Structure 1
């Protein structure tokens, strides 16, 4: 898997994912907040399946 999620995109995904999970865990929002696992995981691993399917790449690292 080639990384396709860049720096700012990764940070935003991690922050939003953690915020949604925290809100769901504290009961501020419903169980749907655990959907925050998806952006959290894609932010941590640096690869997003929909980006790969659509040909997007926000990562500044170029292939050799």
Structure 2
């Protein structure tokens, strides 16, 4: 896969991914009493972390978006 995620975008995805994974596990918000909300949050967080580590986003590729200089 080609790199299409820039540095700022990677850092943002890493932070957002960690927050989405930690929120249902640590927050105690009533929203996360639902198993569906917990699974969605964990899945979205995992996707954010993976795309940040790979520096490639499949959705960016589909739409031809590139936030990196390479």
Normalised to the residue count of structure 2, the TM-score between the two structures is 0.78
Which one has the largest radius of gyration?
Answer: 2
Give ranges in structure 1 of 5+ residues lacking alignment: none
Which has the bigger relative contact order, CA under 8 A and spacing at least 6?
2
> Which of 20, 39, 47 is 2:48 aligned to?
39
RMSD: 1.2
Which runs of structure 2 are paired with 1:19-38 in the superposition (5 Å)? 19-26=19-26, 27-28=28-29, 29-30=31-32, 31=38, 32-34=40-42, 35-38=44-47
User: What TM-score do the two structures reach when normalised by structure 1?
Assistant: 0.85
1-structure distance, mates of 2:24, 2:45 = 9
